[in-house]
Chains A and B, each alone.
Chain A
Amino acid sequence: MTGSAGLTRATLLKDLRLEWRSKDATNAMLFFALLVVVIFSFSFDPTAEESRRIAGGLIWVAFLFASVVALNQTWARELRNQVLDAYRVSPAPANSLFLAKVWGNFLFVSGLEALMTPLFVVFYNLRALGPGYQLLIVAGLGTWALVVNGTFFAAISLRTRSREIMLPLLLFPISIPALLAMVEATSAILTGEYSAKFWIVLLVTYDLVFTMASLFFFELVLHAE
């Protein structure tokens, strides 16, 4: 594997290795997501039918909050010792770095979802009445929507003073269409009352538009002073 793809792979492997050694993002994200699930379970005591209606919202809000913890860590290692400057003075394409970070966050957040979903199923006694396989599609598309924007806005907020606050302020408003689609699609699949196709198409469109926009502007963000 050569060129941009090889560099993306090398950067992704480097990030996974660093995370494996430090577990900075994983520990914080897991602990936070677990807290959210437990707090939600104490706050609500819904029937099985009500659970199916509200679970889409609960699940995605929990994942959104937990993913912000991971996304805030995205560039933390590059900030230490100003490692990003080593990237900026090299001829390496900016998008290789960006895509590696997006894939890294996608893997972290997907792993979190895989661990937390069974807990949601148990706590809320969930069972899909619609086509269950579509939940995997919604999870993949929804996670990509969160991490592609999150990685991009985390890079922008690097140059702000209170970057950990800045990320959610930038990310949440722009994620509203995607979040709406994720929640509606998940609810549609769990209740089986209507088709999730429209919301899935909306998610695909959202992912394409924001991935292209992020790739287009990332070089500018990376080399900004």
Chain B
Amino acid sequence: MLVETAPSPIPPVVTVTNLVKQFGRFAALRGVTAEFQPARLYAILGDNGAGKTTLLRSLAGLSLPTRGSLSVLGATNPREVCAQIGYMAHPSLLYDEMSGMENLCYFARLYGIDDPERSRSLIRWAKLDPQLERPIGQYSQGMRQRVSLARALLNDPKLLLLDEPFSNVDAGSAREMVRLLTELRARGRTIFVVTHQASLLEDAADEFVWMAEGQIVNRTPSLLAAEVR
């Protein structure tokens, strides 16, 4: 389903055209077509099974489309530009047995970053202590989510894809994460946040993208606008 948006002179950072993703006989995405502009924070909303995570995984290059096409940062295959994409999944993508700093230093190596200072500064940015030697498995959920966000930012990505970053996080930590995200958006990063806690992003998101049954069914500038429509 094509949802009309006002034409913009700035080239979109992400374009999806008639994107279909099938798992066996189940279609998780059913012809999604949309454009997304740079330096904006998009909140992707919808019920369980609406296709939010599948859309995010397709943009990250983790899930290949069954049909249709997508363009991410100018590449038709997201893997070609994976060095410019940051991805935070619902699971932490971290080793429970290692500390936050050890995790970040290891994952930084995957992006060719050998200097531990990058990891140290991100840990501090996420309001954590780089000296903390406890393994991630003993961190609170909020701390773990912030390390997970820091991991997604190691490569200073132009496009940030976040899947349920606020789940099981207390209100204070969630607000802190929203503040970090708005800071990133202000620095020109494009951010997609899949969430069930839309109210947290009410003041931060530029657009709310509503999904249902594998399609984008609505795009609104605010939560209130969606209620009015």
Chain A residues whose C-beta falls within 8 Å of the C-beta of B89 in the assembled complex:
82, 85
Chain B residues whose C-beta falls within 8 Å of the C-beta of A225 in the assembled complex:
62-64
Interface membership of chain B positions 45-67, coded 1 if the CB is closer than 8 angstroms to chain A and 0 otherwise: 00000000000000011111000
> With A81-B92, A85-B62 given, is the CB distance from A21 to B97 under 8 Å?
yes
Interface membership of chain A positions 64-87, coded 1 if the CB is closer than 8 angstroms to chain B and 0 otherwise: 000000000000010011110111
Task: Tell yes or no: B1 within 8 A of A by CB.
Answer: no
Chain A residues whose C-beta falls within 8 Å of the C-beta of B96 in the assembled complex:
80-81
User: In the complex the two chains form, what is the Cα distance from A85 to B91 in whole Å?
Assistant: 10
Task: Tell yes or no: B36 within 8 A of A by CB.
Answer: no
Q: How large is the interface on A (under 10, 10 to 19, 20 to 34, 35 or more residues)?
A: 20 to 34
Chain B residues whose C-beta falls within 8 Å of the C-beta of A86 in the assembled complex:
87, 93-94, 107, 110, 151
Chain B residues whose C-beta falls within 8 Å of the C-beta of A223 in the assembled complex:
79
- Closest Cβ neighbor of A9 among chain B residues: B109
- Interface secondary structure of A, over-half rule: helix
Candidates B94, B95, B111, B135; contact of A90 at CB < 8 Å: B111
Q: Report yes or no: A91 in contact with B98, Cβ–Cβ below 8 A.
A: no
A to B contact number (C-beta, < 8 Å): 71
Task: Tell yes or no: A122 within 8 A of B by CB.
Answer: no
Task: Tell yes or no: A118 within 8 A of B by CB.
Answer: no
Chain B residues whose C-beta falls within 8 Å of the C-beta of A212 in the assembled complex:
none
Q: Report yes or no: A18 in contact with B97, Cβ–Cβ below 8 A.
A: yes
Q: Report yes or no: A17 in contact with B111, Cβ–Cβ below 8 A.
A: no
Task: Tell yes or no: A215 within 8 A of B by CB.
Answer: no
Q: Report yes or no: B82 in contact with A90, Cβ–Cβ below 8 A.
A: yes
Q: Report yes or no: B109 in contact with A10, Cβ–Cβ below 8 A.
A: yes
Task: Tell yes or no: A61 within 8 A of B by CB.
Answer: no
Q: Report yes or no: A89 in contact with B107, Cβ–Cβ below 8 A.
A: no
Chain B residues whose C-beta falls within 8 Å of the C-beta of A92 in the assembled complex:
109-111
Chain A residues whose C-beta falls within 8 Å of the C-beta of B85 in the assembled complex:
89
Q: Report yes or no: A7 in contact with B109, Cβ–Cβ below 8 A.
A: yes
Chain A residues whose C-beta falls within 8 Å of the C-beta of B93 in the assembled complex:
81-83, 85-86
Chain A residues whose C-beta falls within 8 Å of the C-beta of B95 in the assembled complex:
14, 18, 77, 81, 83
User: In the complex the two chains form, what is the Cα distance from A22 to B61 in whole Å?
Assistant: 32
Task: Tell yes or no: B204 within 8 A of A by CB.
Answer: no
Chain B residues whose C-beta falls within 8 Å of the C-beta of A80 in the assembled complex:
96
Chain A residues whose C-beta falls within 8 Å of the C-beta of B13 in the assembled complex:
none
Min Cβ gap A95→B in Å is 13
Candidates A7, A17, A21, A22; contact of B110 at CB < 8 Å: A7
Task: Tell yes or no: B126 within 8 A of A by CB.
Answer: no
Task: Tell yes or no: A6 within 8 A of B by CB.
Answer: yes
Among A86, A91, A92, max chain B CB count under 10 A is at A86
CB within 8 Å of A: which B75-126 residues: 79, 82-83, 85, 87, 89, 91-98, 102, 106-107, 109-112, 114
> With A18-B97, A18-B98, A80-B96 given, is the CB distance from A87 to B110 under 8 Å?
yes
Min Cβ gap B27→A in Å is 15
Among B97, B102, B112, max chain A CB count under 10 A is at B97
- Closest Cβ neighbor of A24 among chain B residues: B97
5 tightest A-B CB contacts, nearest first: A90-B110, A92-B110, A86-B93, A82-B91, A91-B83
List B residues at the A interface (Cβ < 8 Å): 60-64, 79, 82-83, 85, 87, 89, 91-98, 102, 106-107, 109-112, 114, 135, 151, 155
List A residues at the B interface (Cβ < 8 Å): 2, 6-7, 10-11, 14, 17-18, 21-22, 77, 80-83, 85-92, 223, 225
A-B residue pairs in contact (CB < 8 Å), sample of 27: A6-B114, A7-B110, A10-B106, A11-B106, A14-B95, A14-B98, A17-B98, A18-B95, A21-B135, A22-B97, A77-B95, A81-B92, A81-B93, A82-B89, A82-B93, A83-B94, A85-B62, A85-B87, A86-B107, A86-B151, A88-B62, A89-B87, A90-B83, A91-B82, A91-B83, A91-B112, A225-B64
Name 9 extra pairs, CB < 8 A, besides A7-B110, A77-B95, A89-B61: A11-B106, A17-B102, A21-B97, A81-B91, A81-B94, A86-B151, A88-B61, A88-B62, A91-B82
